[in-house]
Structure 1
Amino acid sequence: MERRQLARRISVASGKEPADAVIKSAKIIDVFNGEIIEGDIAIADGYFAGIGTYEGKQVIDANGAYLTPAFIDGHVHIESSIVTPSEFAKVLLLHGVTTVIADPHEIANVLGTEGIQYMLDASENLPFDFYFMLPSCVPATEFEHSGAVLKAEHLKQFFQQPKVLGLAEVMNFPAVVNCDKDMLEKIAASKAFGKKIDGHAAGLSANDINVYMAAGIRTDHECTNAVEAKERLNRGMYVMIREGTVAKDLRQLIPVVNERNARRCLFVTDDKHLDDLLHEGSIDHNVRLAVASGISPITAIQMATINAAECFGLEEKGAIAPGYKADFIIMEDLESFKIVDVYKDGTAVVKKGAIVHFPESSQPDIPSSLTQTVHFLEISEDEFQIPVQSHKANIIEIIPNSLVTRHIVEQVETNESGFFQCSLDKDQLKLAVIERHHQTGFIGLGIVNGLGLKSGAIATTIAHDSHNLVIAGTNDHDMVMAAKTIKEMQGGMVVIKDGKVLAALKLSIAGLMSDRSYQEVYANLNNIHGALNQLRANRQFNPFLTLSFLTLPVIPELKLTDKGLFQVSKFQHISIDAG
């Protein structure tokens, strides 16, 4: 901070000169004492300068409304919104979020360090604060082909950047407990630069948490019940309470929160899609759910603000107090949490629920290496043939609204050559994962039950975590057409019927994000949903969302990678033929 700015802030705080703005008649949420206070709030150079009696060049009359610190999302993958950081920021500002801690894990799996650098560059000079944790596990496993491999040496160049806060979710527990050289180098580098380390402790025991804590891993967003949350709190971890599009853990975890441990808990969304962000909200939705589940409004606000700031060492964020950034929300009440206005650095960015100030920075040019990421040889129907001589097959069964699948064995129909035939009556459809990064020619094939398509095919390049091309279909012809369309678009989502494109959404950046406005992307998503109705897809869940997680080989029980059908419990590929 310049000495001149410091001197002015002190002068404003002492009342020797007028503030840039003064907020009057507000009920101020005091996140330190957990109470509501009153007084004038002075703002100078984008910071709160004092609470008391002040005069300012501008007066903001809150008319008795509540004033809370702006919200912070402690762990999010921006790519899951399928829009750029700039568009993502616009959506979140509408919901009172002005700061996120993001993990660019998805784009890093496609483009490595170039993807990370793009996210850093694209988040510059916006009325929104983006911080980043560096992806720790690229690729997630060795059982699939990803677009990149990130070693410790590749990450070190980023640790000195001020927006980089540390190492993102360490999901490779075996690498930690077995002291894998590269993993330890990543952890050691993060600690050497004084950075934080996030965990990903899905299914880990209390003793396993000892290992993570001993390694310096201090958070977890994968708790699914109160017992797991308590074990992590007992050992000194921060518990990230997640409510996203797929993983909805808040109601199961809230019972562990009490007045003694609440300051060690914070809110995250992890993966939340654009339509859900627009309909439900972001961290504001977590706050409402927490209050509806019995948490006091002020405690919920603490979890959404100061707790996240303290967890990541953001000393100037998360509170309405002198010396803190003037990022705040004006809301009508502490029941509905209806957001009226949002301020960033003392400037109104949202008024009466609409964006009023969002200077478009000069966004970085997007090189062709980011937009030309779909590479595979020409696909024919022959490559989708699945031999099942025994007429019995290992099948992936979808569990609605869950990342977990079941491994079932069923009788299947075959043609005279012994190849699997899709059955609409039994809901047995073909599934294919095509390696799309290095043109290796790898195509993994499988059979899926529960998707419910009665015709056509659907395909997407959003396929966690390596983001190859995944296709599900009722017939080979439409599956080939889906692959061809995706390749022509260089990534995205497509719905095909009778050889024709019913709807498509181009995701030109790494096959994960659109370069269009969030309004345009949302309209295209609605077209996708309408086209799915024509295929009579199962509407108990989002078919595309489910499809994108059928390729994740770290979540039980049966998944599909570009190398074939994968049994998670045995951590190995298996044959489709169950004979």
Structure 2
Amino acid sequence: MEQDYESIGFVGLAKVSPFFVGEIMTKVDLLITNAQVFNVFLRKFVQTTVSVKDGKFYWIDQNLDGIEAEEVLDLTGKYLIPGLVDAHMHIDSSMTTPAIMGKTIGKYGTTTIIADDHEITNVAGIEGLKNFIDQPAPIDIFFGIPSSVPSTNDQMETTGGKIGVPEVEELLKDPRFICLGEVMNFKGMTAEGPTLIKDIIATCRKNRPTMPLEGHVPAYAGEDLAKVIFAGVTTDHTQQTAALVDEKVRNGMFVEIQLKSMHQEVIDTIIKHQYFEHVALVTDDSMPDVLLTSHLNNLVRKAISMGMKPEDAIYISTYTPARHMGLWDRGAIAPGRIADFVILDNLEKFEISDVYKNGRPFLDDYQESKYDFLPELRHSINASKLAEQDLKLTTDLVENGTVIANIIQLNEVGTFTNHVKKKLQVKNHQVQWQQAGLALIMVQDRYGKNQAHFQLGLVDKAIIGDGAVGATWAHDHHNLMVMGTNIAGMIRIQHQLIEQQGGYIAAKGEKIVANAPLPIGGVVSDQPMDILGEQIKQIRQTMRDLGYKNTNEIMSFSTLSLLVSPNLKISDKGLFDVKSQKKVPLFELSSIKKV
């Protein structure tokens, strides 16, 4: 029976369908026409029309009759994709602030990030973290609860802050925290009986049962991997091989692929097994000089160049990471989703034409304001100045003769190190490390908990020229660390780091030639990215000039103190074997054995 709508007061409604409004025009803010639009649900491009209303996508169809738009954007010959979502990164690892990070990476198409800012938390605890993340930014920033502050324990490293169950419970009440940040302590996760990290995981599971639990699972396979997953970890972002990706996915893990894991065999494995629902591209740690030119867009472009279909590369950098993190309102061009989108001129080359945030051109509505970081963050280096005499490497094992040294040996790719042993000459108790072509490394407590406390170690295949490098950006405890072959240069760097309250410094001979001050917590600069990026570029070039060889010299040096990254690392408490967490003596008298 046909309803007479006029008789019941619905004048003007069409009689074709009770759900069709005939004469009423819907007003929208933006109408996008003639674009090839990426539909993440179909995983293909479709030529369609897109409307945007109140900062969200509204109606999407080939023919939007009845729509009246404030602005029409004709994208003939162009491609439209959702804004990129970076599910695992660290703002403070990029040595910058939330505002500067947002301004920098938004123009590269990254409109949403999930940041685990455990660097600033290791320095200044939960109050420092809250102050840091409260700075407004022009992109959407969600956070991971720092789970590893410290990354190991008080016996292995000194930190300025700590995160325990009470702090986790407090952060769980903040809706900006949507995952547990990377869990690093393998021994704590897998040990018999209760541990702090087990309690933190249990707290998250109780309060947020569906929350992703990010893990730091480097090179663990077989039963070790099973132990980590059994402990509750759902995700891994560390350096991957094809075999590790396959094993992790088969065991239910979500795998985040960062640049150093983008080997051809890894990409081929993802393509062959169609693992696109179980992986995402992430940046993890982006150095400031790299941010001068690219961000997550570089990984998408690289994936395409390595044989991945553009549709799949876009899928695992938009929808997959958003869905994994429970962000239903982004990562797709669909009704009700936040209207973050990227316009591409060229799909195969992933050439970005424009970026829109909330349906508006990026930064159009952004008004930067002055933000005050806590005074404690501005004055966080409390260490005593050392003298050249302090860096004389001596031993009481022998007066004249030889000792066996446990040495950190660098690799040219990645942050893993090797534990090697070398026989060194000793004269009048002084170890002749220079003759062996080694570099001296020193790590000092910067928090004032033990003013004179520092440790010395030796590094192979590091700096071989005459000079030094030092930083208070030393993962994850961020104590003061200096390495070099020139003692006077090392001391000059140590003094300068204290005077300027943190930074990254390099010297040739005893002369400082490159300096990137990091006055916020000793790990972050408030300089514009173009300035900071150039400073870090000079540090990197100086390290290369001194013979330092690694695909990422900055990160390689700074993670010599990271006690959760295999195999032998150093802190202000000494040398440690990472997996066993056992302290390793610098010198011993036993015969050389392979490790």
Q: Partners in 1 of 2:487 and 2:430 — Cα distance?
A: 12
Q: Which moved more, 1:15-24 or 1:521-530?
A: 521-530
Mark the CA change 1:268 to 1:64 in structure 2 (over 3 Å): closer, same or farther. same
Q: Which sits farther off after the overlay, 336-345 or 176-185?
A: 176-185
Find the counterpart in structure 2 of residue 474 from structure 1: 485
Distance 1:575 1:201, change over 3 A: closer
Do the aligned residues in 1 keep the contact of 2:486 with 2:510 (CA within 8 Å)?
no
Which secondary structure state, in structure 2, belongs to the residue aligned with residue 301 of structure 1? helix
Give 1:121 deviation, angstroms.
Answer: 0.4
Conserved in 1, the CA contact under 8 Å of 2:86 and 2:317? Answer: yes
Q: 1:154 to 1:447 in 2, by over 3 A?
A: same
Letter in 1 for 2:555: L
Q: Is the 8 A contact 2:414 2:550 kept in 1?
A: no
Instruction: Tell me which of 489, 502, 524 is aligned to 1:491.
Output: 502
Aligned residue for 2:219? 203
Distance 1:328 1:575 in 2: 54
Q: Which residue of 2 aligns with 1:220?
A: 236
Judging changes above 3 Å, is the alpha-carbon distance between structure 1 residues 498 and 304 closer, same or farther for their aligned structure 2 residues? closer
**Correspondences of 1:523-562 after superposition (within 5 Å):** 523-532=534-543, 536-539=546-549, 541-562=551-572
- Contact 2:88–2:113 under 8 Å retained in 1: yes
Higher mean alpha-carbon deviation, 552-561 vs 507-516, is at: 552-561
Distance 2:239 2:468 in 1: 35
In 1, Cα distance between the equivalents of 2:218 and 2:333?
A: 35
Distance 1:303 1:547, change over 3 A: same
Taking structure 1 as reference, are residues 37 and 275 closer, same or farther at Cα in structure 2, changes over 3 Å only?
same
- Matched residue type, 2:98: P
Cα distance in structure 2, aligned partners of 1:173 and 1:531? 35
Across the aligned residues of Structure 1 and Structure 2, the Cα RMSD in angstroms comes to: 2.5
Look up the equivalent residue of 1:232 and give its one-letter code: K
| Structure 1 segment 226-265 matched on structure 2, within 5 A | 226-243=242-259, 247-249=260-262, 251-258=264-271, 260-265=274-279
User: Cα distance 1:362–1:304, how it changes in 2: closer, same or farther (>3 A)?
Assistant: same
* Match of residue 271, structure 1, among 285, 290, 313: 285
- 2:514 is matched with 503
Which residue identity lines up with residue 183 of structure 1 in the other structure?
A: I
Q: Given the superposition, is the C-alpha separation of residues 197 and 556 from structure 1 closer, same or farther in structure 2, using an over 3 Å criterion?
A: closer
Distance of 1:256 and 1:530 partners within structure 2:
35
Look up the SS of the partner of 1:262 in the other structure: coil
Unaligned 5+ residue runs, structure 1? 1-9, 350-355
Structure-1 residue corresponding to 2:144? 133
Per-residue deviation, 1:190: 1.7
Q: 1:12 to 1:273 in 2, by over 3 A?
A: farther
Match of 1:7 in 2: none
Contact 1:73 1:99 in 2 (8 A): yes
Indicate conservation of the 8 Å contact 1:422/1:474, yes or no: no
Q: Once the two structures are aligned, what percentage of the paired residues are identical?
A: 30
The counterpart of 1:398, out of the listed 404, 410, 434, is 410
Instruction: Show the counterpart of 2:325.
Output: 312
Q: Which has the larger radius of gyration?
A: 2
Please state whether the residue corresponding to 2:557 is helix, strand or coil.
helix
| 1:434 Cα offset (Å) | 0.7
Q: CA deviation at 1:11?
A: 12
Q: 1:446 aligns with which of 448, 457, 470?
A: 457
Q: Secondary structure at the match of 1:32?
A: coil
Q: Which amino acid aligns with 1:406?
A: N
> Do the aligned partners of residues 223 and 273 (structure 1) sit closer, same or farther apart at CA in structure 2, a change above 3 Å counting?
closer
Aligned equivalents of 2:163, 2:372: Cα separation in 1: 24
Is 1:295 matched up with 2:311?
no
CA positional deviation for 1:422:
4.6
**Alignment CA distance shift 1:315-1:251 (3 Å):** same
In 1, Cα distance between the equivalents of 2:267 and 2:133? 33
- TM-score of the superposition, structure 2-length normalised? 0.88
1:409 positional shift: 2.5
Distance in 1 between residues matched to 2:580 and 2:229, nearest whole Å: 27
Q: Which residue identity is paired with 1:397?
A: Q
The alignment of Structure 1 onto Structure 2 pairs a total of residues equal to 555
Query: How big is the shift at 1:127?
Result: 2.3
Change (3 A) 1:112 1:13: farther
Residue 520 (structure 1) shift: 1.3
Task: Tell me which amino acid in the other structure corresponds to 2:290.
Answer: D
Q: Which deviations, in whole Å up to 9, do the C-alpha atoms of 1:148-181 show, x marking residues without a partner?
A: 2211111211112121102111222333333525
Relative distance call for 1:520 and 1:374 in structure 2 (3 A) is: same
Letter of the 1:118 partner, please give it.
N
The correspondence for 1:381, drawn from 388, 409, 414, is 388
Residues 3-402 of structure 1 mapped to structure 2, 5 A cutoff: 16-52=25-61, 53=64, 54-122=67-135, 124=136, 126-142=137-153, 143-177=156-190, 178-194=192-208, 195-222=211-238, 224-243=240-259, 247-249=260-262, 251-258=264-271, 260-279=274-293, 281-349=294-362, 357=364, 359-388=366-395, 389=398, 390-392=401-403, 393-402=405-414
| Offset of residue 213 of structure 1 | 4.2
Partner of 1:518: 529
Displacement of 1:325:
0.6
| Contact 2:94 2:288 survives alignment (8 Å) | yes
Query: Which deviates further from its counterpart, 187-196 or 51-60?
Result: 187-196
Distance 1:383 1:399, change over 3 A: same
Name the amino acid aligned to 1:241: I
Q: Assess if the C-alpha contact under 8 Å between 2:292 and 2:529 holds in 1.
A: no
**Hey, what does 1:6 align to over in structure 2?**
none
